Amino acid sequence: MPGHSSVAVIVVAAGSGTRLGLNRPKAFVEIGGRTILSWCIEPLRALADLSLAVFVVPEALVEQATESLEPLDHLPAVVVAGGATRQQSVAAGLAAVPEGTDIVLVHDAARAFTPVEVFDRVIEAVRATGHGVIPGLPVTDTIKGVATDGTVRDTVDRSTLTAVQTPQGFPFDQLTEAYRLAGGDFTDDAAVLREAGHPVSVVAGDSRSFKITTVDDLDRADDLLRRSRPTMRTGVGVDAHAFSTDEGEELWLAGLFWPGERGLSGHSDGDVVAHAICDALLGASGLGDLGSRFGTADPELAGAHGEVFLRRTREILAAHGYGVGNVSVQLIGNRPRFSPRKAEADALLTAVLGAPVSVSATTTDGLGAVGRGEGLTAVATALVLGVTRSY
């Protein structure tokens, strides 16, 4: 099968969802402010060779589903009415796939959080084998055979068992032939293909491909969303230092050495830009502030440059599951003239924090201690992101 064969995906979303007890079809139940149908569309956007997505929904909801798909831009999609059984719904979806399609995937909308990597694995395996491929996970529970009276008959060898998921992928011609010949009622498409005499292989599935069937599954899906979405938090930091009375004190500002400029007084090098950034980052993440994290009692920090504080702050955030989104700093003072070295400062601070940092400078038009040239002030705002975790 060619390396760039066309792929159609049939998304089966015609289930009633009676076990959820929410009085509406499962695919139209909302999780995190979006319907299950909407969530299952996300991996389809990343499929390079997708030629068509067919959404099979309850007949009464065809118009509503069509309207909801309008913002999909480049994603080619149609909506068709499903049948009374899953098999009938898949058959309706197959009828909408044009001749000449190479591979067709059948995916349950109820497996709304299946990652795109599973789609890719299935597609590549169909191309490589030329027959049906299904994703699955090894069975980890002990499985017992039970008689009709409830007594245990035997223990099933679980090493030969696989918990099957979707999307299930097939050569289009094989699946259409198998559905044309299908006589019974099958619970998945691999069984239809096997009944027609075609082989089916298994590739690795994913735990995120669980099927939403019960209220407990909704809770699991909601928990997955909470843990997979990056948390965004903002913070503000302010720092001010007077110029040193010691004419030999070096000025370190925004991580840079400024030759010929009088330095700032302080336990460390007095870098108000670096210190304001640290306060903003610590405040955003709720992990204290510059004083509580880097007190003046620490002899190792005597005369330490701002880069030391920034690196340690980044390490503190990382240890608590946070990363830096971006930082913006306003330096306030009459000197030094900052603009000629702005690009240098931005580059250094960005490299230290591993995130965009932008520093600008202004004056107070002579107002206050800073306006009289007695020192410098910096105000920083920071965006902190919670580290994304997989389910």
Residues 224 and 266 in one domain: no
Does residue 138 fall inside a structural domain?
yes
Q: What's the mean pLDDT in 213-241?
A: 86
Would you say 82 and 16 are in contact if contact means Cβ atoms under 8 Å apart? no
Q: Are 152 and 146 in contact (CB under 8 A)?
A: yes
324 & 211 share domain = no
What pLDDT, on the 0 to 100 scale, is given for residue 81?
A: 94
Listed residues 228, 261, 286: the one ending a domain = 228
Q: Is there a domain that residue 381 lies in? A: yes
Would 87 be classed as within a structural domain?
yes
SS3 category, 359: strand
CATH number (domain holding residue 357): 3.30.1330.50
Residue 336: asked if its preceding bond is cis (omega within 30°), the reply is yes
CB 110 within 8 A of CB 36: yes
Task: Give the annotated binding-site residues for a divalent metal cation.
Answer: 239, 241, 275
CATH number at residue 89: 3.90.550.10
Shared-domain flag, residues 94 and 220: yes
Given 197, 228, 259, which residue is the final one in a domain? 228
Q: Are residues 216 and 317 in the same domain?
A: no
| For residue 231, pLDDT beyond 90 | no
Range of the domain at 213: 7-228
The pLDDT, as a whole number, for residue 301 is: 63
This prediction's pTM: 0.61
With respect to residue 346, please indicate whether it lies within any of the assigned structural domains.
yes
Query: Are the beta carbons of 166 and 209 closer than 8 angstroms?
Result: yes
Mean pLDDT is lowest, of 26-40, 165-179, 287-301, 344-358, for 287-301
pLDDT band at 71 (very low <50, low <70, confident <90, very high): low
Q: Which of 213, 228, 243 is the last residue of a domain?
A: 228
User: Does residue 1 lie in a domain region?
Assistant: no
Residues 146 and 189 in one domain: yes
Same domain? 219 vs 238: no
Highest mean pLDDT among 102-106, 113-117, 219-223, 230-234: 102-106
Q: What is the 3-state secondary structure (H, E, C) of 10-67?
A: EEECCCCCHHHCCCCCHHHCEECCEEHHHHHHHHHHHCCCEEEEEEEECHHHHHHHHH
Query: Could you give the number of structural domains in the chain?
Result: 2
pLDDT for 174-206, tens place per residue? Answer: 999 999 998 778 889 999 999 999 999 999 999
The answer on pLDDT for 296 being more than 70 is no
User: 359 in a domain, yes or no?
Assistant: yes
Q: Are residues 120 and 257 in the same domain?
A: no
- pLDDT for residue 281: 96
**302 falls in which pLDDT band (50, 70, 90)?**
low
Q: Do 132 and 270 belong together in one domain?
A: no
Judge if 238 and 223 occupy the same domain.
no
Distances in whole angstroms, Cα of residue 49 to Cα of each of 45, 74, 77, 163? 10, 12, 14, 28
Write out the binding residues: 239-241, 267-268, 275, 289-291, 362-365, 372
In this structure, the answer to whether residues 224 and 343 fall within a common structural domain is no
Tell me: do 202 and 189 sit in the same domain.
yes
Same domain, 151 and 251: no
